[in-house]
């Protein structure tokens, strides 16, 4: 594995961990040239394609990394680990594959992502929902927060 900082052709693995319920190997690596440390992920390449159907009808291939980037933006400056976000993305991908449909509408994918973030971090959920549901004013935010508070109260009393 080439070093992303100095470009040295060889790096050494200093730690390997299993992630995503054993479907991913997470490796911490170190460059012997510049001592930079970085993480790589090794996963089995899925053969069957999943498609995402956009609002305008276009189809594009499902991209787990794009979903994780969306999660990362929502979780920016919040105490949420990358492993947690990757596990959430893996659950979503697994659910889509298990449906046997081979494709998912962006609206359904957005709901699935929102549901995962709601379990992980409420602030991240509201951030994600504000983009996904295209909040246009402050009342959209306050309505969503009120709904979260109602859910919390119902869980507390139920």
Residues 22 and 66 in one domain: no
109 neighbors 89 (Cβ within 8 angstroms)? no
Between CA 75 and CA 32 the distance in angstroms is 33
Looking at residue 48, its pLDDT comes to 66
Q: Is the pLDDT of residue 9 over 60?
A: yes
Residues 96 and 112 in one domain: yes
Q: Is the pLDDT of residue 154 over 80?
A: no
* Structure-block tokens of residue 133: 């549901």
With vertex at residue 72, the alpha carbon angle to CA 68 and CA 77, rounded to the nearest 5 degrees, is 165
pTM over 0.95: no
Residues 60 and 85 in one domain: yes
Instruction: Provide the residue range defining the domain that includes 11.
Output: 1-44
Residues 20 and 82 in one domain: no
Torsion on CA atoms 63, 67, 72, 75, rounded to nearest 10: -170
Residues 78 and 148 in one domain: yes
Q: Which residues pair with 37 in a beta bridge?
A: 30
Q: Is the pLDDT of residue 37 over 80?
A: yes
Per mean pLDDT, which range of 25-39, 88-102, 131-145 is the poorest? 131-145
Residues 128 and 62 in one domain: yes
Residues 36 and 114 in one domain: no
Work out the percent of the chain whose per-residue pLDDT is above 70.
Answer: 97
Domain tally, the chain: 2
């Amino acid at each position: 594995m080439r070093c992303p900082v100095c470009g040295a052709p060889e790096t050494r693995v200093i730690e390997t961990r299993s992630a995503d319920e054993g479907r991913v190997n997470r490796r911490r690596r170190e460059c012997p040239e510049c001592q930079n440390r970085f993480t790589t992920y090794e996963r089995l390449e899925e053969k069957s394609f999943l498609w995402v159907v956009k609002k305008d009808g276009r189809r594009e291939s499902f991209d787990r990394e794009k979903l994780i980037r969306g999660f990362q933006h929502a979780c920016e400056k919040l105490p949420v680990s990358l492993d947690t976000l990757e596990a959430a993305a893996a659950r979503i991908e697994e659910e889509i594959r298990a449906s046997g449909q081979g494709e998912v509408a962006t609206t359904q994918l957005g709901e699935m992502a929102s549901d995962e973030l709601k379990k992980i971090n409420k602030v991240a959920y509201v951030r994600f929902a504000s983009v996904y549901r295209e909040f246009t004013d402050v009342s959209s935010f306050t309505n969503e927060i009120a709904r979260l508070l109602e859910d919390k109260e119902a869980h507390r009393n139920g």
